[in-house]
Amino acid sequence: MTCAVFQCLPFALALAATLPAGWAAAQRPEAISPQVKTCVDKAVSWLIAQQQPAGNITEQKSTQFPRRGDVPSHSAAMTSLALMGLAAVGHLPSNPTPEGQAAQRALRFIVDHVEPDENGYLGRSDRSRMYGHGIMTLMLTEMLGMSPDADTDQKVRDMAEKGIRLILRAQQTPKSEANRGGWRYEPSSSDSDISVSVWQLMALRAAKNSGIEVPKEAIDNAIAYIKRSYRAERDSNGRLKQLEAAFSYEPYGGRQTFSTTSAGLLSLQVAGQYDIPEVIGSSNWLLKFPPEVNEPWFFYGCYYYAQGMYQRGGDHAATARQKTENMLISSQSPEGAWYPRNGNEKSAGPVYATSLALLSLSVYHHFLPIYQK
């Protein structure tokens, strides 16, 4: 991504009543270690401390309220990431606690200050482009039914529905066969990459789960695009010849990393493709080549890695859980934040990294519908 997610039983029961129709009751969380709970609590406190008077969550301090439709660069996308991180560990906008009130202010920042264009494009207001559009649309679809009041919930629904229509429209932009079904930096882009496309696919799936109309063809075309980025050798009949392989940044080429592989793994599972060869092979590849905290796009990739391997289950989930928890606990700063260490990710800042770290540690909480099995 350049210029480029621990409550008691009474609260869990109250939450279940607010979730989108058709969503099953929350699964019982696996045991969470005291070290992880402390880590999460410190991260939540640090994120909330970064909230500005307008409601946006950023390490860039400001007492000014931005104009609607012209908010600080990437502020809406980062606030959406932070909000998903808070919600993923149980701090929802409908919760009357201080953490819930912070989540409420963050959600209202988005609906009150981000102004979609005439086509529903959310990434223009904060210059985060289709990256930000996918992140914001995913967040809005996940927050349906979780708003503090009916007026905010209606605004969330309106923005989410328009955001989904923009994603669908952008997917129809004429593209080559290799790029068809995917997305890139702008709605009119004629090429695609896995990093941008995964956010749009997850937003589409979350929208479908929440009752927003999404054509099956759109999800099928996105799945086909992700599959074309899988870099295993095939025989003359198209059957895979390798037991493990990675996803690349672009179809038929580009770099193959743990972050692109993890993104492909999670997105296919979110789309219901749990046992296809590309999922089995990429999860096996990640067992063989696990992430390290100093590599490029660590926090971005760790989020997909933790969630994707959890969905896979078994040894994949157990190995990834131990690896993720050890890496994040040891790399958290004393005040509760995480700081990117490498390349372009370093410039994204600690709100970005801390939000993604929270999402990485949230796999056993089951509060966000998109990540449930």
Beta strands 248-250 and 253-256, pairing class? antiparallel
What's the CA gap between 242 and 229, in Å, rounded? 15
Q: What is the mean pLDDT of residues 290-309?
A: 94
Beta bridge partners of 356: none
What's the pLDDT score for residue 236? Answer: 74
CATH code that applies to domain 9-18+37-371 = 1.50.10.20
| DSSP-derived secondary structure for 1-21 | --------HHHHHHHHTTSPT
Would you say residue 80 has pLDDT above 80? yes
What's the pLDDT score for residue 20? Answer: 37
Q: Which two tokens stand for residue 246?
A: 């990675």
What's the pLDDT score for residue 66? Answer: 83
| DSSP-derived secondary structure for 243-280 | S---BEEETTEEEE-HHHHHHHHHHHHHTT--SSHHHH
Model confidence pLDDT, tens digit, residues 253-295: 778 899 999 999 999 999 999 999 999 999 999 999 999 999 8
Number of helical (H) and strand (E) elements in the chain, helices listed first: 14, 2
Domain spans, the chain: 9-18+37-371
Would you say residue 5 has pLDDT above 70? no
What's the CA gap between 207 and 316, in Å, rounded? 28
What's the CA gap between 367 and 358, in Å, rounded? 13
What's the CA gap between 258 and 351, in Å, rounded? 22
Would you say residue 9 has pLDDT above 70? no
Task: Give the three-state DSSP class for 30.
Answer: coil
What's the CA gap between 142 and 270, in Å, rounded? 13
| Cβ atoms of residues 329 and 56 within 8 Å | no
Other C-beta atoms closer than 10 Å to the C-beta of 339 total 14
| Cβ atoms of residues 20 and 210 within 8 Å | yes
pTM of the model: 0.88
Burial 242-256 (b: 16+ CB within 10 A, else e): eebbbbbbbbeeeeb
Task: Give the three-state DSSP class for 116.
Answer: coil
Q: What is the mean pLDDT of residues 45-72?
A: 90
Model confidence pLDDT, tens digit, residues 332-371: 999 999 999 987 798 899 999 999 999 999 987 655 555 5
Task: Tell me the pLDDT of the chain averaged across its residues.
Answer: 88
